[in-house]
Every structure is written in C-alpha cells, then in structure tokens.
C-alpha cells in the first residue's frame, strides 16, 4: 500500500492492527447466510484432500525450479492476479478459490499442511458488512449559516459501522466536539479526553499524532508515527470513551495517502472478524471526511481549523465544542457471516522441529466493486470492476511460494512455517486472528519475514527496512545484501507509521522478531529519479485500483534479487540454533522475554 514516492515500503498505508475477535454466537435478527457461506463446519475446513484435488479454477505450474527465478515468479503472480479470482475478495466464492490454489501449490512444492485438524487452512470467522449507499446518509447542521450539509458519500465522506448486530442504525443531533488527535497515552502524559464526557456525542479528530505535527523529537516518537497515530486506534479509543460517532479528518500528508484511497477502501463490502458481542461496544458510526469538508464545518462552528490544528499538537490541549453543530444520519447495511481462511504450510525440521522460521504474505485483495465506470482505457484507471491486486499482494504470495519451494529442496534442522493470511486489506484481521489462535506457539517461532507489495521496477542498489533499528534480523539482511553489492536503507518516512501497517505487526505484538524489508528505490539503471518515478506512477495509477494488473512486460529481476536475500535470511536462521532478538529498548523486547521465559518453564 504505497503512498510516498518510495517503493513498496509505502504499500502499507491502510492496513490496521485491529485485535482479533473471539468467535461469537450467531447475531440475532439478521439474515447472515450467503451462497458462499452456506456450508457446515466440515465444509468450512476444506480438508487436505481438497487442496490437491482437480477442483481448482486455474492450473498449477507444470514445472518450476528449486531456485528463485523471475520466470517462476511471473507464472505465480499472473495466476493469482487473474480475473478468474475476481480480485481475491475474502469470503467470496471466487476469492476463496485463490486460497485453494495457494494450498495446492504449497503441497506441490513439498510442504505439509499446518492448519486446523490436519488441513491446509485455518478458518477465520468473518462478517461482511455492506453499506446501502442509496439508503444511508450523514448530514451536518446547526452552523452559523443555518444551512444543512448532506454529505455525498465517497466524495465528501465515507461512512460505516463496526456494529454487527443489526441491519439499520440511526443517530440524531449528535453534538460535535473536536478532540485534537483523539489520543490517550499515559506514557507520554497525553490525554485529549481529559475531563471530557463524550457520551452521545461525535468526536472529530486529526489523523496521525502530535509528534508528527510538531516535527521535533520532544513528544511521542517525533516524526515517526506511533500506534496512536493510526486511524484504527482513534476509532477504538472513541468507542472506549463512549462516543456515538467518530470522524477522522483526512489530510494527505499526515495520512500518507490521498482521498481516493480512502474512498476506494471504505466502499463496497467491508470485512471484519466476528465480534463476540456483535460490536455493540463500538461507536454507532465511524467516518472519514475530506479536509475541505472539515474546514467548512469548523467555519460553520466559528472556529479556525488551522489555529485549532496548531493548538492540538501542544501539551495541555483541551477539547473544543463545535458550537451548535450536530451530526445526524442513518446506516443501512447488509450483514453476511461467512468464513475466510489463512493458508498454513509447514516444512518439518530434522533436529529441532518445534522451532520455526516464519514467512508471511497476505493473499486477499479488494475483490469486485460493481459501479459505473467512465473514460477511455489508459485514461480512466477504473475501466473494469475487478481489483486484481497484482502488486498488492500477488507478488508477496508468489515470493512466499518461491521461498517455500527453495527451502523444501533440502532438509533443515529447524522447521519452516509459511502462512498466507486473509483479510489484510480489512485491517490485518487474518494475521491478528492467527496471532491470537496460533497453530504454532508464538514462543516456538524463532523469527519471521513478511512480504507485501513488491514493485516490478528492476534491480536496485538497496533494500528498505520498514521500522529500521528494530531487531538483529537487520544485521543478517545486511550481510546477505553485501554479497549482492547492495545496502540496507532505513524507512525514509517513519512519520507514516508503515511498521504498523502490515501483517508482521500482529506477530511483533506477540514478541516475535519480524523483518519487513522491501525493494529499494535507487535503480541500477536510472538511479533514484527513475525509481521514484516508477513508484509514484504505481501509487497514482494503480494502487487499490483495478489497474493493479499483471503485465508480461514487468521487469522482475529486482524482485528476484530481493526475494533471494529474504530467503537467505531465513536460510541462515533455519540452519542454526541462534535466536535473533529485538534490539535493546525496542517496544516488543519485554514481550519477547516474557514469552520465551514461559517456554522455559
């Protein structure tokens, strides 16, 4: 998920670190069945035999090499990004067939099933909520002009709810209050809700955190985004505070992505894990609004947006009522309960089989979004309704399969664990579920590598480590890149918080040292200017759009080199008895120590 001028480092922007939800009882008063979901528990498991059966929509490769090659990558990426899978939507009939193909390919290259009950799959109970935009609305009124401001959904605002227990919600005359960044962070002595009662109200918040806005290192982590800057946290905190509604103001720089990404990602069906209480502890509605709309609302309330934004970054900021402005609206949604699946393969070790090296990559994308398209091919990048996700993330899954095949060619002392997770695009839900319900205890996972959104821009002189300065895995990567005459570059935009935006964070939060490194930007032919141009072209034209499609003209030589380096990192660990760890003082170091201490008891 890419939003800077850098390579697929920025391809992480919308994924969130939502906590996994426990399996819930069937919510009442909802028709929760769909054609894709009308299966019993045994069907949902998709037993091992199914993975290797001929019941695949697309064939497996006829022959691939043990070595990591561009040709093998091309075959796998092209298959996973094919229109046949209709954008790999989780829970969708055609989308789930992509998971079947991945499992069958894992089996073909020599892995063993590592999922539920001896299968290739871990069931992930999910709910798919689809807003009826024609029947739903959000309106602001009570401002100085006396006008009513109905929002045009996707143009002015996006609107949804995390509540799963009903099909229809209304909210009337909810008073607006500006709560700055909407952060409660005791370790930074920061509380935007200090002394505030927001029950029944709608809180309006800025994206990112005060450290980013101050551009100094004296608060939070300076320009490097903390988890408090993530939109997921802000909505969760608003719910904990008892608010009726939560609105985040979109601004491109602090969000690290444009409004089109918000509009695309929050339209159509929205997936979530099944919530034990049906989501009743969340706000009635959640929303983004454009900066333009926010400025109008602040003006209607007699407030200066820029002045308050500036005040919000200072310690001691106090929330501000937005005059007589209120929000009213209605959410009409369908709620479908179904299953998606993580795909889990294992390469058993010969000497220490209960110690694992982990590789992860999400297989899901945005599926199909049926709506009217205009323009000519080449001009309008919405020319069809299938969001193929070739870069995001057919590349990462293909890399995982390449590495699995290479590792399976030889025996290793330790085991390999290969997990292709679902529901990443919905907020890292598949990896969060796995982390809460692991098929392998977290303290038996030595270390892990995550792969997400690799750009086909040719060979580069570098690889970028997201969250640079985190663990000893970076030292291993540095040594492997030395042999390629390449270097490690730090994440160039720590303020965007990319470390919190892909599936590795679900494992890191459990203490597992994780490496997320991706292709660099300093191209061997053309330098940084060429790399940045290619990256920006993808961001503007293809990211989270139907034009993210595979093309036979792709130059996969750089991707091949990157994957080889990541393979070699895992190879060193799987053939050793060392346990790489977090650097001293890292936020996940204590969790890891506690986890390993439990293992030794």
Task: Clarify whether residues 329 and 341 are in a common domain.
Answer: no
Closest CA to 90 of 276, 367, 370, 359: 367
Give the 3-state DSSP-derived string for 378-396, with helices as H, strands as E and coil as C. CCCCCCCCEECCHHHHHHH
Task: Clarify whether residues 256 and 177 are in a common domain.
Answer: yes
Closest CA to 184 of 176, 196, 174, 172: 196
- DSSP, collapsed to helix, strand or coil, labels residue 569 as helix
In this prediction, residue 370 carries a pLDDT of 67
* Rounded distance between C-alpha atoms, residue 506 and residue 433, angstroms: 9
* Rounded distance between C-alpha atoms, residue 194 and residue 559, angstroms: 49
Question: Which CATH number do you get for residue 343?
Answer: 3.40.630.10
Kindly state whether residue 55 falls inside one of the protein's structural domains: yes
Helices marked H in 494-556: 504-508, 527-541
Kindly state whether residue 62 falls inside one of the protein's structural domains: yes
Which residues fall within 8 angstroms of residue 260, CB to CB, at 6 or more apart?
Answer: none
Kindly state whether residue 5 falls inside one of the protein's structural domains: no
Which residues fall within 8 angstroms of residue 175, CB to CB, at 6 or more apart?
Answer: 200, 201, 202, 321, 322, 325, 326
- The owner of tokens 């590592």 is 114
Task: Clarify whether residues 535 and 386 are in a common domain.
Answer: yes
- Tokens at 523, concatenated: 């191209």
Task: Clarify whether residues 266 and 210 are in a common domain.
Answer: yes
Kindly state whether residue 357 falls inside one of the protein's structural domains: yes
- Tokens at 278, concatenated: 């049906």
Domain boundary among 335, 356, 371: 335
For 386, how many CA atoms within 13 A lie in the half-sphere containing its CB?
A: 16
Task: Clarify whether residues 302 and 347 are in a common domain.
Answer: no
Closest CA to 272 of 417, 386, 165, 196: 165
In this structure, what is the dihedral angle of CA atoms 356, 357, 363, 366, given to the nearest 10 degrees?
100
> Hey, which bits of 348-468 come out as E strands?
352-362, 367-368, 386-387, 414-421, 445-450, 462-465
Q: Confirm if 268 and 425 have CB atoms less than 8 A apart.
A: no
H or E stretch covering 45: helix 41-45
* Rounded distance between C-alpha atoms, residue 153 and residue 489, angstroms: 40
Kindly state whether residue 12 falls inside one of the protein's structural domains: no
Task: Clarify whether residues 291 and 386 are in a common domain.
Answer: no
* Rounded distance between C-alpha atoms, residue 572 and residue 593, angstroms: 22
CA distance readout (Å), 149 to 157, 259, 294, 328, 559? 12, 19, 11, 10, 48
- The owner of tokens 């969760």 is 236
In this prediction, residue 376 carries a pLDDT of 53
- DSSP, collapsed to helix, strand or coil, labels residue 323 as strand
User: Total structural domains in the chain?
Assistant: 2
H or E stretch covering 113: strand 112-113
Task: Clarify whether residues 318 and 402 are in a common domain.
Answer: no
- Tokens at 36, concatenated: 């894709």
Closest CA to 438 of 329, 525, 324, 358: 358
- Tokens at 131, concatenated: 């807003």
Task: Clarify whether residues 410 and 538 are in a common domain.
Answer: yes
For 238, how many CA atoms within 13 A lie in the half-sphere containing its CB?
A: 34
H or E stretch covering 558: helix 557-574
Task: Clarify whether residues 565 and 499 are in a common domain.
Answer: yes
Kindly state whether residue 23 falls inside one of the protein's structural domains: no
Task: Clarify whether residues 197 and 232 are in a common domain.
Answer: yes
* Rounded distance between C-alpha atoms, residue 262 and residue 254, angstroms: 13
Task: Clarify whether residues 186 and 76 are in a common domain.
Answer: no
Which residues fall within 8 angstroms of residue 170, CB to CB, at 6 or more apart?
Answer: 329, 330, 331
Question: Which CATH number do you get for residue 254?
Answer: 3.50.30.30
* Rounded distance between C-alpha atoms, residue 50 and residue 118, angstroms: 12
CA distance readout (Å), 365 to 51, 85, 371, 425, 553? 21, 10, 17, 6, 22
**Domain boundaries, position 70:** 41-112+337-593
* Rounded distance between C-alpha atoms, residue 534 and residue 559, angstroms: 14
Task: Clarify whether residues 261 and 345 are in a common domain.
Answer: no
Averaged in consecutive runs of 10 residues, what is the pLDDT profile of the chain (601 residues)? 37 35 31 34 42 77 96 98 96 95 98 97 94 97 96 97 96 98 93 97 96 85 85 95 98 91 87 89 98 98 98 97 97 94 98 98 90 51 80 97 98 98 92 96 98 95 93 98 96 80 93 95 93 86 88 96 98 98 89 91 70
Q: Confirm if 285 and 160 have CB atoms less than 8 A apart.
A: yes
Domain boundary among 275, 301, 335: 335
Domain boundary among 335, 361, 389: 335
Which residues fall within 8 angstroms of residue 422, CB to CB, at 6 or more apart?
Answer: 90, 99, 124, 340, 341, 342, 362, 363, 364, 429, 430
Kindly state whether residue 14 falls inside one of the protein's structural domains: no
Q: Confirm if 512 and 447 have CB atoms less than 8 A apart.
A: yes
b/e string for 377-414 if b means 16 or more Cβ within 10 A? eeeebbeebbbbbbbbbbbbbbbbbbbbbbbbeeebeb
Q: Confirm if 108 and 60 have CB atoms less than 8 A apart.
A: yes
Kindly state whether residue 32 falls inside one of the protein's structural domains: no
């Amino acid at each position: 998920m890419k939003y800077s001028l850098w390579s697929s480092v920025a391809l992480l922007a919308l994924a969130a670190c939502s906590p996994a939800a426990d399996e819930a009882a069937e919510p009442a008063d909802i028709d929760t069945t769909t054609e894709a979901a009308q299966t019993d528990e045994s069907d949902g498991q998709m037993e091992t035999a199914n993975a290797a059966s001929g019941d695949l929509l697309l064939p497996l490769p006829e022959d691939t090499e043990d070595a990591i090659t561009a040709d093998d990558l091309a075959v796998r990426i092209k298959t996973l990004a094919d229109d046949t899978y209709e954008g790999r939507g989780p829970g969708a009939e055609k989308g789930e067939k992509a998971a079947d193909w991945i499992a069958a390919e894992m089996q073909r290259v020599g892995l063993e099933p590592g999922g539920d009950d001896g299968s290739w799959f871990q069931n992930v109970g999910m709910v798919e909520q689809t807003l009826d935009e024609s029947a739903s609305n959000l309106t602001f009124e009570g401002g100085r002009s006396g006008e009513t401001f109905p929002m045009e959904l996707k143009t002015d605002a996006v609107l949804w709810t995390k509540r799963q227990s009903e099909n229809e919600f209304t909210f009337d005359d909810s008073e607006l209050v500006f709560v700055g960044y909407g952060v409660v962070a005791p370790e930074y002595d920061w509380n935007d809700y200090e002394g505030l009662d927001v029950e029944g109200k709608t809180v309006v918040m800025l994206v990112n955190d005060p450290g980013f806005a101050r551009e100094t290192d004296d608060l939070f982590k300076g320009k490097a985004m903390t988890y408090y800057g993530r939109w997921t946290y802000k909505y969760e905190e608003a719910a904990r505070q008892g608010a009726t509604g939560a609105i985040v103001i979109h601004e491109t720089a602090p969000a690290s992505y444009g409004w089109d990404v918000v509009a695309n990602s929050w339209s159509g069906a929205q997936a979530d894990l099944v919530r034990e209480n049906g989501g009743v502890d969340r706000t009635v509605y959640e929303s983004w609004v454009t900066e333009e709309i926010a400025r109008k609302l602040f003006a209607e309330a007699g407030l200066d947006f820029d002045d308050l934004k500036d005040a919000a970054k200072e310690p001691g900021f106090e929330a501000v009522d937005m005059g007589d402005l209120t929000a009213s609206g209605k959410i009409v949604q369908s709620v479908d309960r179904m299953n998606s699946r993580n795909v889990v393969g294992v390469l058993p070790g010969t000497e220490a089989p209960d110690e694992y090296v982990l590789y992860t990559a999400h297989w899901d994308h945005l599926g199909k979004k049926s709506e009217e398209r205009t323009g000519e091919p080449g001009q309008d990048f919405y020319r069809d309704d299938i969001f193929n996700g070739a870069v995001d993330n057919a590349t990462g899954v293909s890399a995982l399969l390449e590495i699995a095949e290479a590792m399976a060619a030889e025996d290793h002392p330790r085991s390999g664990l290969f997990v292709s997770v679902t529901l990443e695009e919905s907020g890292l839900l598949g990896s969060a579920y796995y982390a809460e319900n692991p098929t392998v205890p977290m303290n038996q996972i030595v270390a892990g590598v995550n792969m997400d959104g690799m750009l086909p821009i040719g060979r580069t002189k570098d690889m970028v480590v997201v969250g640079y300065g985190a663990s000893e895995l970076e030292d291993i990567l540095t040594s492997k890149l030395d042999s390629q005459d390449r270097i490690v570059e730090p994440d160039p935009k720590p303020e965007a918080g990319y470390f919190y935006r892909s599936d590795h964070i679900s494992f890191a939060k459990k203490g597992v040292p994780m490496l997320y490194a991706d292709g660099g930007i300093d191209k061997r032919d053309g330098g940084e200017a060429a790399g940045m141009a290619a990256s920006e072209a993808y961001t503007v034209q293809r990211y989270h759009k139907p034009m993210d499609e595979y093309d036979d003209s792709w130059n996969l030589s750089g991707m091949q080199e990157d994957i080889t380096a990541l393979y070699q990192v895992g190879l060193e660990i799987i053939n050793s008895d060392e346990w790489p760890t977090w650097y001293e003082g890292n936020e996940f170091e204590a969790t890891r120590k506690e986890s390993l201490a439990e293992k030794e008891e």
